[in-house]
Amino acid sequence: MKRFNIFAGNYGSGKTEISLNTALELVKSRKTTLVDMDVVNPYFRSAESEKLLADHGIRLIAPPYANTNVDVPVLSAEVMAAFESETAVFDAGGDPVGAAALGGLLAQFNAHRDETMLYYVVNARRPLQQTVPEIIEMMEQISARIRLRVDGLINNTNLGRETTAADLAHGQEICLEVSRKTGVPISYLAGKPEILEAFRPQGGGIPEIPLAIYTFPDWLVDDIHEK
């Protein structure tokens, strides 16, 4: 991970979960800021984990309307303070429109380009992410709106509680083809520790991001309990 780490991806990719887990890992060794840039999607926002982050000493910067039902693409000037942090994680919006907010920070990212990584998170079990052409098209759209090239792919293929190592393996095949066609390397495998362990013999030594799950909203938790 670099000093400034941006996680982008389509809805359901798991970019927010990866952002949270990365911030919680980075703060063990340096002061960390998490910037919730999702000004479009009202669910699965990093801002909903404010207490968790505060308890670990992570500074959270979020749009003024985050964690509400009002979705207006307004960014606080406080976002600029993230570039003074020892390290920062940026949770980008989940589509080209949501990711566009990061484009307003282009000058800051360019000033720190050697310290910045843009990761594109793939969950090949979700709509609009199931084929190589779909992934490449969305990745290029989001990259264009952020106005930064994608530096690395993260294979986070999963089916929630039903995930097996076979799902991660399926996503790996697709990500390998995306990498071959675009030249963007696979930087990380992400998933629950037991899934990563089961897949490890096939993983080719790619670094891993073990995930604890923090972002189940109330409506999903209730639905799971009912089932």
Pairing of strands 208-210, 186-191: parallel
Name every residue whose Cβ is closer than 8 Å to that of residue 126 and which is 6 or more positions away in sequence: 10, 11, 12, 13
Does this model's pTM top 0.85?
Answer: yes
**Tokens, residue 223:** 């639905």
Cα–Cα distance for residue pair 46/18, rounded to 1 Å: 10
Confidence of residue 76 (pLDDT cuts 50, 70, 90): low
Instruction: Give the contacts of 127 (CB within 8 A, at least 6 positions apart).
Output: 12
- When pLDDT is cut at 50, 70 and 90, the band that residue 222 belongs to is very low
Q: What is the pLDDT of residue 71?
A: 45
Lowest mean pLDDT among 101-105, 149-153, 215-219: 215-219
**By CB neighbour count within 10 A (0-12 exposed, 13-18 middle, 19+ buried), where does 169 fall?**
middle
